[in-house]
Chains A and B, each alone.
Chain A
Amino acid sequence: MLQINDLHASVEGKKILKGINLEVKAGEVHAIMGPNGSGKSTLASVIAGKEEFEVKKGSLALEGEDLEDLSPEERAHMGVFLSFQYPVEIPGVSVTNFMKTAINESRKAKGLEDMPANQMLKLIREKSELLEIDRKFLSRSLNEGFSGGEKKRNEIFQMAMLEPKLAILDETDSGLDIDALRIVANGVNKLRGKDNAIIVITHYQRLLEYIVPDFVHVLHDGKIVKSGSKNLALELEEKGYDWLKQETVV
């Protein structure tokens, strides 16, 4: 599904990704771990198409189609979804209205009519129940005054609504208490299927107890320095990242 070859990316002239190779197949869940500043969030933003990040070298393709020249919205229409580490607050636009706009714009891009109102409401009800989101919450301004947990739950709600092919969860576990973590993970697991793939970016192993990955990769200084099974995450939890850094130097 996602194919990344020798990807180099910079922001404001600073090299952040220095040759990433990664292949994610349909039905798989990959975890990307690594210390702060290793380039995890940059990788997520580059896949989603944030303009400030400049791809210097290498390639990035979804289902064989090169993503490099596509805008963030075009990537979204192809099925890329990024759950933000820091969702942006947008006063004046309610969660419901935002979702309606997003869904109908995606449909428009595919040449479809707007989703009928009753169908939209049904979908919203169904998905908000999945994430245990209160109805009142949906009429609030997007992310404005939301707690950390509410923001993350709202991100996964959006993911559930948009049903992406490739979802990237950027530190979705940060700022979550154990109950919220369980709800979010449960939501993600229900969305797992043989036709879609998920990349979980996290600092800690904790989330991976709930969303069990097929592969774990360790990112350090803009490169994947180690890949393995879910056991690698446990090893990292125990030993930290330093041994890997040393290993790389050696």
Chain B
Amino acid sequence: MDLKDKLLSSFLAFENNVDLNSPVHDVRSEAIKNFETKGFPSKKEEAWKYTSLNNLQKIDFSVFPKQETVLDYKEIKKYFLHEIDTYKIVFVDGVYSSYLSETTHDGVDVCLMSAALTKPQYRQVIDVYFNKVASKDESLTTLNTAFSREGAFIYIPKNKVPKKPIQILHLATGNEAALMLQPRNLVIAEENAEVQVIERHQSLTGNEVLTNSVTEIFAAQDAIVDYYKVQNDLDTASLIDNTYIAQKDRSVVRVHTFSFGGKLTRNNLNYYQNGERIDSTLKGVTILGDKQHVDHHTLVHHAQPNCESHQDYKGVFGDRSTGVFNGKIIVDKIAQKTNAFQQNNNVIISDKATVNTKPQLEIFADDVKCSHGCTIGQLDEDAMFYLQSRGIPKKEARALLMYAFANNVLESVRIPELKARINALIAKKLGVRVGFEL
């Protein structure tokens, strides 16, 4: 049985465990119909030209883990940003681990999707927000919607700021030979609220994992959301990360994506601006080796005047790794005075690595500032000579230049401990001996 059929039949089993009478289930039923019609995207589709899911579909993934696994905090501590105090929402093989988590309802809600989808007190919020910005058409998103049951639920009411950042950690223990996970997150920052979220998917063994994740983020007027995605998984773990963001007036949403590992990673990051003076920031650092593959597909839809978007993605590609960047910017006719910046710079350090980069601008307004630049190249020879002439050997000089190149993106990271961590990870990935402070 192929993966699509397996998922369709699993949906029937899934229905035995959820409330079929809730409005949420109507959404799921619609979604599975869409997936049934469309199936997995193929390379024939323009958006999937450079990323093939064929091999993944041949793997016999378990859709539900058969047993629960208990993990000791010590085993997984390193996957947390443990240098600072944070709220934690931890899932082990897709199942919430209360033992490893620290949630709250103190003025803000940092808890579970399963609670939000079933408990009456969240009914109204779910009615207003659930599946409201996520695509009802894109097949993998609808697949996730069909199976949406668990994930992180974060609700920050008007004028509130949680006491500390929130970490979402999805762990796969390898209890199943191959496991498919479909977490569903919902993050809502009401008017003038603020929140910082770090999310990570981590496989703990060499068993295959496929995660098809959907996160919806809503930022109301003047809200500020910082979302950090840490993608540094094993070479047997694949991730399709779908993020949908709806912003209202003067809100700021910054998403940083750090892609350092994993077998296949596809990021679909979509911003919808529904107000004026909005700031949307998308930053990415990608450092790959071996046969790793990362595909960044971004969309920023400017639908109102006087808004900004800033995109800066940097990539370093070694060995036989492959990278894709496709940045789509739509500026509606009404969206005058839009400032949209997009930058994608790549350095290739191996003859066998490849990068495909494409800006895609659809501009219907006439009074806008849109700039974009995509580069693929090698390191600057003059800079190399300068470093070498100071006694820094070629290999180290190269590493240092790549480090500096990638590190530039970290300036906008607002959690210093996370910045230091990522900085150290970049150095390690590039083999730079940096014992130095930032």
Q: Do A and B bind each other?
A: yes
* Other 8 A-B pairs with CB < 8 A, given A49-B388, A91-B404: A71-B388, A72-B388, A75-B389, A88-B382, A88-B386, A105-B392, A106-B391, A158-B390
Cβ of A69 to closest chain B Cβ, rounded Å: 15
User: Which residues from 293 to 351 on chain B have a C-beta closer than 8 Å to any C-beta of chain A?
Assistant: none
Whether B391 lies near A105 (C-beta < 8 A) is yes
Contacts from A to B (Cβ < 8 Å): 48-52, 71-73, 75-77, 80-82, 84, 87-88, 90-94, 96-98, 100-106, 109, 141, 158, 162
Interface string of B379-397 (1 = CB under 8 A from A): 0111101111111111011
Complex CA distance for A106 and B396, rounded to whole angstroms: 12
Please name 13 pairs of A and B residues whose Cβ atoms are closer than 8 Å in the assembled complex, sorted by A.
A48-B385, A52-B381, A73-B389, A73-B392, A73-B393, A76-B390, A88-B383, A103-B391, A104-B433, A105-B393, A109-B391, A158-B390, A162-B391
Report B-chain residues with C-beta under 8 Å of the C-beta of A84: 386, 389
Chain A: CB-nearest residue to B405: A92
Q: A73-B391, A76-B389, A162-B391 are in contact. Are A93 and B400 (CB under 8 A)?
A: yes
Report A-chain residues with C-beta under 8 Å of the C-beta of B383: 88, 90
Report A-chain residues with C-beta under 8 Å of the C-beta of B433: 101, 104
Report A-chain residues with C-beta under 8 Å of the C-beta of B403: 92-93
Complex CA distance for A58 and B231, rounded to whole angstroms: 55
Whether A73 lies near B407 (C-beta < 8 A) is no
Interface string of B267-310 (1 = CB under 8 A from A): 00000000000000000000000000000000000000000000
Q: A73-B391, A76-B388, A105-B392 are in contact. Are A88 and B380 (CB under 8 A)?
A: yes
Tell whether B20 is near chain A: CB-to-CB under 8 Å. no
Whether B436 lies near A82 (C-beta < 8 A) is no
Tell whether B434 is near chain A: CB-to-CB under 8 Å. yes
Whether B391 lies near A77 (C-beta < 8 A) is yes
Complex CA distance for A115 and B78, rounded to whole angstroms: 30
Q: Which of B390, B394, B396, B408 has most A Cβ within 10 Å?
A: B390
Whether A101 lies near B393 (C-beta < 8 A) is no
Whether A87 lies near B408 (C-beta < 8 A) is no
Q: Top 7 closest A-B pairs, CB basis?
A: A92-B404, A76-B391, A72-B388, A106-B391, A102-B390, A88-B386, A97-B436
Report B-chain residues with C-beta under 8 Å of the C-beta of A98: 387, 390
Complex CA distance for A105 and B400, rounded to whole angstroms: 12
Tell whether B422 is near chain A: CB-to-CB under 8 Å. no
Report A-chain residues with C-beta under 8 Å of the C-beta of B408: 91-92
Tell whether B418 is near chain A: CB-to-CB under 8 Å. no
Q: Please, how many residues of chain B have a CB less than 8 angstroms from a CB on the other chain?
A: 26
Whether B385 lies near A72 (C-beta < 8 A) is yes
Q: Which of A48, A82, A84, A88 has most B Cβ within 10 Å?
A: A88
Complex CA distance for A71 and B388, rounded to whole angstroms: 8
Whether A102 lies near B392 (C-beta < 8 A) is yes
Tell whether B115 is near chain A: CB-to-CB under 8 Å. no
Complex CA distance for A91 and B433, rounded to whole angstroms: 18
Whether A101 lies near B396 (C-beta < 8 A) is yes
Which of A90, A96, A101, A141 is B386 in contact with, Cβ under 8 Å?
A: A90
Whether A82 lies near B389 (C-beta < 8 A) is yes
Tell whether B161 is near chain A: CB-to-CB under 8 Å. no
Report B-chain residues with C-beta under 8 Å of the C-beta of A141: 404
Cβ of A136 to closest chain B Cβ, rounded Å: 15
Cβ of A88 to closest chain B Cβ, rounded Å: 4
Complex CA distance for A80 and B389, rounded to whole angstroms: 8
Report A-chain residues with C-beta under 8 Å of the C-beta of B386: 84, 87-88, 90
Complex CA distance for A96 and B386, rounded to whole angstroms: 16
Report B-chain residues with C-beta under 8 Å of the C-beta of A104: 433
Report A-chain residues with C-beta under 8 Å of the C-beta of B361: none
Report B-chain residues with C-beta under 8 Å of the C-beta of A90: 383, 386-387, 401, 404
Whether A101 lies near B392 (C-beta < 8 A) is yes
Chain A: CB-nearest residue to B395: A73
Complex CA distance for A112 and B434, rounded to whole angstroms: 18
Cβ of A90 to closest chain B Cβ, rounded Å: 6
Complex CA distance for A72 and B394, rounded to whole angstroms: 9
Cβ of A60 to closest chain B Cβ, rounded Å: 15
Report A-chain residues with C-beta under 8 Å of the C-beta of B388: 49, 71-73, 76
Cβ of B381 to closest chain A Cβ, rounded Å: 8
Complex CA distance for A94 and B438, rounded to whole angstroms: 9
Cβ of B222 to closest chain A Cβ, rounded Å: 32
Report A-chain residues with C-beta under 8 Å of the C-beta of B436: 94, 96-97, 100
User: Which residues from 401 to 426 on chain B have a C-beta closer than 8 Å to any C-beta of chain A?
Assistant: 401, 403-405, 407-408
Which of A51, A52, A91, A105 is B396 in contact with, Cβ under 8 Å?
A: A105
Report B-chain residues with C-beta under 8 Å of the C-beta of A105: 391-393, 396
Whether A50 lies near B392 (C-beta < 8 A) is no
Report A-chain residues with C-beta under 8 Å of the C-beta of B396: 101, 105
Whether B394 lies near A73 (C-beta < 8 A) is yes
Complex CA distance for A13 and B194, rounded to whole angstroms: 62
Complex CA distance for A92 and B409, rounded to whole angstroms: 10
Complex CA distance for A109 and B396, rounded to whole angstroms: 13
Report A-chain residues with C-beta under 8 Å of the C-beta of B385: 48, 50-51, 72
Report B-chain residues with C-beta under 8 Å of the C-beta of A76: 388-391
Which of B394, B400, B405, B407 is A101 in contact with, Cβ under 8 Å?
A: B400
Chain A: CB-nearest residue to B404: A92
Q: A71-B394, A73-B394, A101-B396 are in contact. Are A92 and B389 (CB under 8 A)?
A: no
Cβ of A137 to closest chain B Cβ, rounded Å: 16
Complex CA distance for A167 and B390, rounded to whole angstroms: 12
Chain B: CB-nearest residue to A83: B389
Whether B405 lies near A162 (C-beta < 8 A) is no
